[in-house]
């Protein structure tokens, strides 16, 4: 029997907003092994970053995600995390936490950052928007001028 959380996630990855990004090549679902899902996000240089999402109590609780190595099925070594300028280095900061991104829609990062509600309302987790919100934030970061294309 499929959980309601998984059903909600599957509905979200089959929604127009998520599929639009998939069809345009910005991101895509690789696999689901509930409560985890692997989603790749295309960077500005054309490379793909695989992210492993932890989705317990989705969508009521925001997901958390970390860069993932699909070949070893383990966390991506921190030396291979995206690098760049200020925003990229803040979001992809394994020194802060190697199992989460430091962005307003991440379940772990949002703890203790109430100010983000005023500073970054378009990046906050919204259960009504779903996984598209998180993936779009990552895609926007990796497509920004802050991303180091030479990395």
Rounded-to-integer distance, Cα 136 and Cα 138, Å: 5
- Of 55, 76, 101, 105, which one is the catalytic site residue? 105
Tell me what percent of the chain is helix, strand and coil, each rounded to the nearest 5.
Answer: 30, 20, 50
User: What is the distance between the alpha carbons of residues 94 and 1, in angstroms, rounded to a whole number?
Assistant: 36
Asked about 36 being catalytic, the answer comes back as: no
How many angstroms separate the CA atoms of 140 and 100, rounded? 17
Q: Which residue has the tokens 């990796």?
A: 142
Taking the alpha carbons at both ends of the chain, their separation in whole angstroms is 43
| Residue 71, both tokens | 């070949």
List 33's β-bridge partners, or say none.
36
- Two structure tokens written together for 123: 């990046």
Catalytic residue ranges: 105
């Amino acid at each position: 029997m499929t959980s309601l959380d998984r059903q909600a996630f599957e509905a979200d990855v089959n929604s127009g907003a998520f599929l639009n990004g998939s069809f345009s090549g910005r991101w895509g679902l690789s696999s689901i092994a509930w409560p985890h899902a692997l989603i790749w996000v295309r960077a500005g240089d054309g490379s793909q970053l695989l992210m492993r999402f932890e989705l317990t109590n989705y969508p009521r609780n925001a997901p958390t995600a970390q860069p993932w190595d699909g070949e070893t099925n383990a966390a991506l070594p921190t030396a291979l995390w995206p690098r760049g300028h200020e925003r990229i280095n803040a979001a992809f900061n394994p020194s802060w936490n190697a199992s989460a991104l430091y962005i307003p829609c991440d379940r772990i990062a949002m703890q203790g950052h109430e100010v983000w509600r005023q500073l970054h309302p378009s990046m906050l987790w919204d259960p009504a928007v779903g996984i598209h919100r998180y993936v779009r934030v990552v895609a926007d970061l990796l497509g920004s001028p802050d991303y180091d294309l030479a990395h």
